[in-house]
Amino acid sequence: MAPAQVAVYAGTFDPITNGHVDILRRALRVFERVHLAVAESTTKKVVFSAEERIEMVREATKSFASPPQLVVEAFDGLLVDYVRRVGAQVIVRGLRAVSDYEYEAQMAHINRHLADDIETVFLVTSDRLSFVSSSIVKNIAGNGGTVDHLVPEVVAKRLAVTDRALLLR
Of the residues 44, 45, 62, 164, only one is catalytic, namely 44
CA distance 2 to 9: 19
Question: So what's the pLDDT on residue 75?
Answer: 97
Question: So what's the pLDDT on residue 122?
Answer: 97
Of the residues 93, 96, 138, 158, only one is catalytic, namely 96
CA distances from 155 to 10, 125, 140, 141 (A): 18, 19, 13, 11
Does 62 participate in catalysis according to the annotation? no
Instruction: Verify cis geometry, omega within 30 degrees of 0, for the bond prior to 3.
Output: no
- State the virtual CA torsion across 91, 97, 98, 101 in degrees, nearest 10: -20
In the chain, domain spans = 6-127
Does 20 participate in catalysis according to the annotation? yes
Does 58 participate in catalysis according to the annotation? no
Helix (H, G, I), strand (E, B) or coil at 51: helix
> Counting Cβ atoms within 10 Å, is residue 138 exposed (0-12), middle (13-18) or buried (19+)?
buried
**What CATH number belongs to 6-127?**
3.40.50.620
Query: pLDDT means per 10 residues in the chain (169 residues)?
Result: 84 97 97 97 89 98 93 97 98 92 96 97 94 95 97 97 94
Of the residues 35, 53, 133, 134, only one is catalytic, namely 134
Question: So what's the pLDDT on residue 98?
Answer: 83
CA distance 109 to 117: 12
Does 41 participate in catalysis according to the annotation? no
